[in-house]
Structure 1
Amino acid sequence: MDATKLRRAIARTPLAPVAAFPKRLAKVARYDSRVLGTSARWLFTSREHHNYTYDLTKLSRQHLAWFVSVACDVPVGQVRGWFAELEADETLRGHIEAATAASARRGLADRQVRYARRIGWYAMVRARRPAHVVETGVDKGLGSCVLAAALLRNTAEGHPGRLTSLDINPEAGYLARATPWADVVDLVIGDSIASIRALDRPVDIFLHDSDHSRGHEKREFDAVEAKLAPGALLLTDNVTITNVLAEHAERTGRRFLAYRETPAGHWYPGDGIGVAW
């Protein structure tokens, strides 16, 4: 009996699980060794302790381009062009590197600029040309800079807009405190729910990226509903954890899509973007 016939014969016997165990163990060991190697490299080469930054895999980037294309009803080639536009912005990249190096929090931040899913945020702002974007949760201000850069490009093309960035931490947003990005950013320190209720102009794009508990996320979307402009775009950075935005979309008669990113060469499994429109 040849090897193939022997394997097939064993597969039909009670010995099958025992015979398959070495092969299964080898597959798990190969996978775990890659994960452990990636984790070890990150531990010794990165300073980040939360809000990890990384690049996307090529496939994940392609899927993000189609995600934005569908949600914003624009050609996917144009979306790819906006991705490239952000990544070619050497003025922004140089600012982020220099501001990170000079920050009092530089011991917990990497100088290398890696946008990940934020290139999707950028492309959505370029596509929708909003007059008013609101984000909750700022941290260092990397996302704020990305959103502001898109608004500045829109302004140069005759479509001005502003970003309202909400955070409860008075030290948040140090990356977005320099011109020209700060020229289109209003940084508001305080509770996000109270700040949303105090907004004095309609919101065209709203991004939840603050307290990621289900209850707080829901309160933010409930609070902003009365502030939204017609056709507003709702985004959440919490889509891999909760179904809050999907439920809000169904309740308010909107469409919903979710994208999950895949980091390149990083131990973290990644976050995502949820969008309702």
Structure 2
Amino acid sequence: MDGTNFRRAIARTRLAPVAAFPKRLMRVAKHDARVISVSAKWLLTSREHHNYTYDLTKLSREHLAWFVSVTCDVPVKQVRTYLTEIEEDEPLRQHIEQATAASDRRGLADRRVRYARRIGWYAIVRATRPKHIVETGVDKGLGTCVLASALLRNAADGEPGRVTSLDINPEAGYLAKSEPWASVVDLVIGDSLASIKALDRPVDLFLHDSNHSTGHERREFQAVSPKLAPGARLLTDNVTVTNVLAEHAEKTGRRFLAYRETPAQHWYPGDGIGIAW
């Protein structure tokens, strides 16, 4: 009996789990060694403790392009152009690096600029040309800068817009307080639900990225519903944790789709984008 037939014979006996154990162990060990290596490198080189930043794998970036193409009804080639725009925006990149280095919070932030799924936010804004975006949850303002950069490009094309960025932390948004990005940003400090209820103009694009509890996320979508403009889109940065936006979409007669990112060379499994339209 040759080796192949012998292995097949063993596979049909009670010894199969024992015989397969060394190979299974090697596969697990190889996987864990890679994860430990990536994690150790991150611990030694990164300063971040939350809102992790990273690049996407090439495959994940391509899936993101198709996600935006389908949900915004634009050709995927155009979406790829938008993704390249934000990735090659050198003035924004230099600003973020310099502002991070000068910030009081530089001890908890990486200077290297990596947008992850936020390039998808940018592409959605470029594709849909919203007049008014509302973003809840700002932190240092990286995502706000990405949204503002898209709005500035839209304005150059003759379709201006603004982003209202809501956060309860008075120190939030330091990256978005410089020109030209600040020229299209209204930073509001306070409770997101109260701030949403106080909005005085229709919302074309709403992004939940604040308190990620299920109850709060649900209350934000409920609060913004009467403020939405016709054809408005709803986004959540919490799609890998809750099903809130999908449930809201079903109740309100919208379509829903989710994208999950894959970080390149990072221990964190990634977040995603949920969109209802």
Instruction: Specify if TM > 0.5.
Output: yes
Match of residue 47 from structure 1:
47
SS at match of 2:224: helix
In the alignment, what sits opposite 1:7? 7
Secondary structure at the aligned position of 1:20 is classed as: helix
SS at match of 2:24: helix
CA distance in 2, matches of 1:88, 1:274: 25
In the alignment, what sits opposite 2:210? 210
Identity across the alignment (%):
80
Q: 1:72 offset after TM fit, Å?
A: 0.3
For each residue in 1:223-250, what CA deviation from the matched residue of structure 2 results, as whole angstroms up to 9, or x when unmatched?
0000000000000000000000000000
Q: Structure 1 length as normaliser, TM-score? A: 1.00
Q: d(CA) in 2 for partners of 1:32 and 1:87?
A: 31
CA distance, structure 2, for counterparts of residue 182 and residue 176 of structure 1: 6
Match of 1:159 in 2: 159
Distance 1:116 1:146 in 2: 11
SS across alignment from 1:263: coil
Q: CA deviation at 1:196?
A: 0.3
Q: Deviations over 1:7-39 (max 9, x none)?
A: 011111111101110100000000000000000
CA distance in 2: counterparts of 1:31 and 1:130, whole angstroms: 43
1:107 and 2:107 equivalent? yes
1:184-230 superposed Cα distances (whole Å, 9 cap, x missing partner): 00000000000000000000000000000000000000000000000
Distance in 2 (alpha carbons) for counterparts of 1:265 and 1:207: 27
- The equivalent of 2:184 in structure 1 is 184
Instruction: Give the deviation of 1:263 after TM superposition.
Output: 0.2
Compute the displacement of 1:83 (Å). 0.5
TM-score (norm 2): 1.00
Secondary structure at the counterpart of residue 216 of structure 1: helix
Tell me, what secondary structure is at the counterpart of 1:166?
strand
Q: Is 2:248 aligned against 1:248?
A: yes
The RMSD of aligned alpha carbons is: 0.4
Question: Which ranges of structure 2 fall in alignment gaps of 5 or more residues?
Answer: none
Instruction: Give the Cα separation in 2 of the matches to 1:117 and 1:16.
Output: 43
Q: Distance in 1 between matches of 2:194 and 2:182?
A: 23
Alignment-mate amino acid for residue 166 of structure 2: L
- Tell me by how many angstroms 1:87 deviates: 1.1
Look up the match of 1:56.
56
- Indicate the SS of the match to 1:147: helix
Residue aligning to 2:239: 239
The answer to whether 1:148 aligns with 2:124 is no
| Match in the other structure for 1:26 | 26
Per-residue deviation, residues 140-169 of structure 1 (Å, max 9, x unmatched): 000000000000010111101000000000
After the TM superposition, which parts of structure 1 deviate over 3 Å for at least 4 consecutive aligned residues? none
Q: Establish whether residue 74 from structure 1 lines up as the match of residue 74 from structure 2.
A: yes
Separation of aligned partners in 1, 2:213 and 2:77: 36
Which consecutive unaligned segments of at least 5 residues does structure 1 have?
A: none
Counterpart CA distance in 2 for 1:16 and 1:56 is 39
- Residue type at the aligned position of 2:258: A
How many Å apart are 1:88 and its aligned residue? 1.1
